[in-house]
């Protein structure tokens, strides 16, 4: 019986995986990887059979139950089975479902953490998520609700946090901005959008909650995060000027 390693691939850049994760990839017999995992990172596992199981919203996806079963079956055949997930496995990565499948099948497993995309985004922006006197709370949330799940009450926590990061939200950004406004978040709240954090195609857009409502997220298509809060004020405003100059994003951010 082999062992299954749930490994965080980090935000995208191939050198932002942990040494432990890279070492396991090198020794892996088989790797099941997500759609957000970059081809470069798979080069770290030259000896492994590589199986794509990822899902990217609205593209072809692999059923989660199928992935769970794959992992259990692979553990019966191989010594080192790697499940490689974007960012950190324990944050919006459906790791719990895989852990439960492995536990109920009696398969040994280990989690290797990774850098979640929110941390790569703030590193790139040069903005700390917390700041003395400005931000003492950080919320990571997603408005996405999977099929068959209960309605989510994500908005109050986001509106109340000093700093908030929304995952899987870019496609519904206009609606999200309306929901947050209804929760009492001021329209002047600084917003930064970060697309493809840590990758060469990385892009930053500065805005406000009002700008988001007016379509600031239009034109972003890669994986992206919405970041809210006063810690982003300076950066958002600097970016607004730049984006308006280059004019490549239809941005109507309101000045404060």
- Per CB under 6 A, the list member of 67, 122, 163, 196 interacting with ligand SAH is 196
Residue 197 near ligand SAH by CB under 6 A: yes
By CB atoms closer than 10 A (0-12, 13-18, 19+), residue 30 is: buried
Q: Look up 90 and say whether it is catalytic.
A: no
Q: Using CB under 6 A, which residues numbered 214 to 233 contact ligand SAH?
A: 223-225
Q: Look up 34 and say whether it is catalytic.
A: yes
Residue 143 near ligand SAH by CB under 6 A: no
The set of residues, in sequence order, having a beta carbon less than 8 Å from that of 200 and lying 6+ positions away, is: none
- Per CB under 6 A, the list member of 21, 54, 87, 206 interacting with ligand SAH is 87
Three-state DSSP class for residue 109: strand
Residue 67 near ligand SAH by CB under 6 A: no
Q: Using CB under 6 A, which residues numbered 4 to 63 contact ligand SAH?
A: 11-12, 36
Q: Look up 168 and say whether it is catalytic.
A: yes
Query: What are the strands of the beta sheet with 138-141, ordered from one edge?
Result: 138-141, 163-166, 224-229, 190-195, 203-208
Q: How far is the CB of 255 from ligand SAH (least distance, A)?
A: 26
d(CA 251, CA 256): 15
- Per CB under 6 A, the list member of 68, 88, 139, 240 interacting with ligand SAH is 88
Q: Which helix (H) or strand (E) holds 194?
A: strand 190-195
Two tokens, residue 225: 């995060």
Q: Which residues are catalytic?
A: 34, 55, 168
Residues forming contacts to ligand SAH in the complex (CB under 6 A) are 11-12, 36, 85-88, 91-93, 116-117, 121, 167-168, 194-199, 223-225
């Amino acid at each position: 019986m082999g062992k299954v390693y749930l490994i965080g691939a980090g935000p995208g850049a191939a050198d932002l995986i942990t040494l432990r994760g890279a070492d396991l990839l090198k020794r892996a017999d088989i790797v099941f990887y997500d759609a957000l995992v970059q081809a470069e990172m798979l080069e770290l596992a030259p000896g492994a059979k590589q199986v794509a199981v990822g899902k990217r919203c609205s593209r072809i996806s692999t059923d989660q139950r199928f992935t769970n079963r794959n992992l259990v079956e692979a553990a019966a055949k191989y010594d080192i089975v790697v499940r490689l997930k974007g960012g950190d496995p324990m944050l919006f990565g459906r790791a719990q479902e895989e852990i439960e499948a492995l536990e109920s099948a009696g398969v040994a497993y280990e989690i290797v953490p990774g850098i979640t995309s929110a941390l790569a985004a703030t590193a790139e922006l040069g903005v700390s998520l917390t700041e003395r006197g400005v931000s003492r709370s950080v919320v990571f949330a997603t408005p996405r609700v999977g099929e068959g799940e209960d309605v989510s009450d994500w908005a109050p926590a986001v509106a109340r946090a000093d700093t908030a990061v929304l995952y899987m939200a870019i496609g519904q950004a206009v609606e999200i901005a309306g929901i947050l406004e209804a929760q009492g978040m001021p329209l002047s709240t600084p917003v930064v959008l970060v697309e493809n954090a840590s990758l060469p195609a990385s892009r930053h857009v500065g805005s406000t909650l009002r700008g988001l409502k007016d379509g600031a997220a239009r034109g972003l298509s890669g994986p992206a995060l919405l970041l809210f809060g006063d810690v982003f004020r300076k950066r958002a405003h600097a970016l607004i000027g730049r984006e308006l100059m280059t004019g490549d994003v239809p941005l109507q951010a309101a000045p404060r």
